[in-house]
Amino acid sequence: MTEQTASYKHQVVYDYKGNPLIESLPVIWSYNEVIDMLSYNDGQHDGERELDAHYRMHCVHRLFRYFQPLEQHIDIEQRLSRCIRQGYLHRNPQKADYARALDEGHKIVNMHGTYNQFNAFHPTATGFTIIGMSGIGKTTAVVNILNMYPQVINHARYHDAPLVLKQLVWLKLECPPDGSVKGLCMSFFEAVDRAIGTDYFESFRTRGTIDYMMVRMTQAARLHCLGVLVIDEIQNLSLIKSGGQAKMLNFFVTLVNTIGVPVILIGTSKALPILQSEFRQARRGSGQGDLIWDRMKNDYIWEIFVKSMWRNQWTQNKVVLTDGFRDALYEESQGITDIAIKIYAMVQIRAIGLGNETFSPSDLHIVAQEKLGLVKPMLDALRSGDKKKINMYGDIASISIEDYYKAYAALLNYGQAVPLKRNEMSLSEKAVLKLLELGVEPVTAKRLTGEMTLLHKELRTVQDIVRLAYQKYLAGAPPASDIDCSASDLRNADNYESLKEAGAIQSIEW
């Protein structure tokens, strides 16, 4: 996390003059400056194509740092820039209102009051929400943009007046998997401690009611001049039992309307019903609106993305980008950037491992068939354009190419003709796909399948696993964190690695 000493800059916008919290921020960047700062496309360096294959296998991983700014990224940066500055307008530590607000908060904390007791003073915060499916780059974009700003700014003196203050410009949290308010509070305190060296987390780890912790969160946000609070994975609120989601969302509204901290919420389409029913109504009239981030279409934006990415190529034979490659990559990724980048990495790994040192559009289809089996139902739903089917999946399961890399890297070491392909799915994979067809969410399907195969080792058919897993799903299965499987987890066995090498255990990434 970045930390720097305050350096006060001349403000062009009149409203921002005379406020040390705003004057210490970086300048307001232009469109082209944002593109230059966000871009990461190191590409293939001179001479790297002539390196030995095992070196080039390492170079391929440079692709995962590739970042091409698009229209959405510029929009988000501009919104965030306005958010932080507008939120600071009436939170000037040089003004009497700031000291008065801190005193008010201190009294509420000592009286063990509730966060609803905080009085609003000129709220100017304008938060927004970012909604889109997993894998399209929402979190990566926001993290990259946040990192353009220092997280902590140390103030000592503002012009001729002393100003001892650690300004917390931004804070990013993830909504807990169980959607609990307490979990969010603890994540907040842990993040603040990590950024500025306080000890809030230890103070509340074993004590403190939720209401009291929320009061302390509100006071901490005031005390440390929090510029913006980003909450990721907001769709986890859908897991909260009656009343919980309303409580958490109302707390976000309190931060916005009472102390002026903008709140940015990030989530998948599953979060829309919650936000529309609770949060949007509560914050009506404020905010910059929702940003619905759809996957890329096969148009000029996709062409820019692929053309820029194509520089990252390490096969000995240069493969020229054609319309056939662009269309094949889109067909297999459906415009989801995470999947597109991984397919492009895998097709190079395969070409280097096999010694072909080149690839064609048909090879993109081959690697997708070899590796994307578990996300095929989601991608098929996107291809169909059927909103009912698309909404069924909500998230795209994450993909790891580590096992794919190992399979083809092995060719370099042992000279095998062709790596073992996973055309035949394991029992667990087949069970997961069946559960997905029944409408079970990907993460839940994976967890329930794992539990059933672990607890019922006698099961030998897909139908038996699916039947028990689906019964548990309908009955309301407890979160995976409530189940202690460590005693019977094969990964804890002494001979785990030898079992993997013998092929008795499959390495599966979901």
Report yes or no on 306 lying in a domain: yes
* Residue 387 shares a structural domain with residue 435: no
Give the domain-ending residue among 402, 423, 444: 423
In the numeric block, the tokens 């949007």 are attached to 280
What is the C-alpha separation between 264 and 440, in angstroms, rounded? 29
Tokens read off for 371? 């590796």
Res 157: pLDDT = 92
Report yes or no on 486 lying in a domain: yes
Tokens read off for 342? 């991984």
* Residue 363 shares a structural domain with residue 436: no
Report yes or no on 57 lying in a domain: no
* Residue 442 shares a structural domain with residue 494: yes
What's the CA angle centered on 59, arms 57 and 65, to 5 degrees?
A: 125
DSSP bridge pairs for 154: 5, 166
Mean pLDDT by 10 residues, the chain (510 residues): 87 94 96 92 88 92 90 92 90 81 74 66 69 84 94 93 92 84 86 91 75 82 92 76 62 70 85 64 51 87 93 95 96 91 94 93 92 77 71 62 76 58 62 78 79 75 82 66 42 48 42
Q: Give the amino acid at 470.
A: Y
Which segments of 322-455 are extended strands (E)? none
- Read out DSSP for 17-60? TT-HHHHTSPPPPPHHHHHHHH-B---PPTTGGGS-HHHHHHHG
What's the maximum distance between 2 C-alpha atoms anywhere in the chain? 78
Report yes or no on 110 lying in a domain: yes
Q: Give the amino acid at 381.
A: A
| Kind plus residue range of the DSSP H or E element containing 191 | helix 181-196
pTM: predicted TM-score of the whole model, two decimal places: 0.75
3-class DSSP assignment, residue 459? coil
* Residue 362 shares a structural domain with residue 465: no
- CATH of residue 30's domain is 3.40.50.300
- CB neighbours (10 Å) of residue 90? 18
What are the helix and strand counts (H, E) for the chain? 23, 8
Nearest to 486 by CA among 444, 457, 454: 454
Res 81: pLDDT = 95
* Residue 233 shares a structural domain with residue 330: no
Nearest to 182 by CA among 222, 216, 221, 233: 216
* Residue 368 shares a structural domain with residue 432: no
Q: At what angle do helices 376-384 and 427-437 cross, to 10 degrees?
A: 30
Tokens read off for 490? 């094969």
Report yes or no on 280 lying in a domain: yes
**Strand order of the sheet with strand 152-158?**
3-5, 152-158, 161-168
* Residue 126 shares a structural domain with residue 16: yes
Report yes or no on 484 lying in a domain: yes
Tokens read off for 332? 């297999």
Report yes or no on 63 lying in a domain: no
**Contact predicate 28/12, CB 8 Å:** yes
CA distances (Å), origin 164, targets 6, 141, 355, 448: 11, 33, 62, 53
| Kind plus residue range of the DSSP H or E element containing 162 | strand 161-168
Q: Cα 440 from chain centroid?
A: 22
Tokens read off for 71? 């229209």
Give the domain-ending residue among 269, 292, 315: 292
- Read out DSSP for 136-152? SSHHHHHHHHHTTS-SE
Report yes or no on 59 lying in a domain: no
What is the C-alpha separation between 473 and 444, in angstroms, rounded? 8
| Count of domains forming the chain | 3
* Residue 320 shares a structural domain with residue 183: no
Nearest to 358 by CA among 392, 320, 328: 320
Q: Give the amino acid at 2.
A: T
Nearest to 371 by CA among 312, 430, 423, 409: 423
* Residue 29 shares a structural domain with residue 137: yes
**Where does residue 124 rank: exposed (0-12), middle (13-18), buried (19+ CB within 10 A)?**
middle
* Residue 348 shares a structural domain with residue 441: no
What is the C-alpha separation between 135 and 337, in angstroms, rounded? 6
| Kind plus residue range of the DSSP H or E element containing 130 | strand 128-131
In the numeric block, the tokens 């209102």 are attached to 97
Give the domain-ending residue among 292, 312, 345: 292
Res 361: pLDDT = 96
Spatial neighbors of 378 by CB under 8 A, at least 6 apart, are 393, 395, 396, 397, 436, 442
**Where does residue 344 rank: exposed (0-12), middle (13-18), buried (19+ CB within 10 A)?**
buried
Spatial neighbors of 336 by CB under 8 A, at least 6 apart, are 133, 135, 136, 295, 396
Res 289: pLDDT = 64
Res 412: pLDDT = 75
* Residue 215 shares a structural domain with residue 227: yes
- Domain containing 183 equals 3-38+70-292
Q: At what angle do helices 323-333 and 300-309 cross, to 10 degrees?
A: 100
* Residue 279 shares a structural domain with residue 358: no
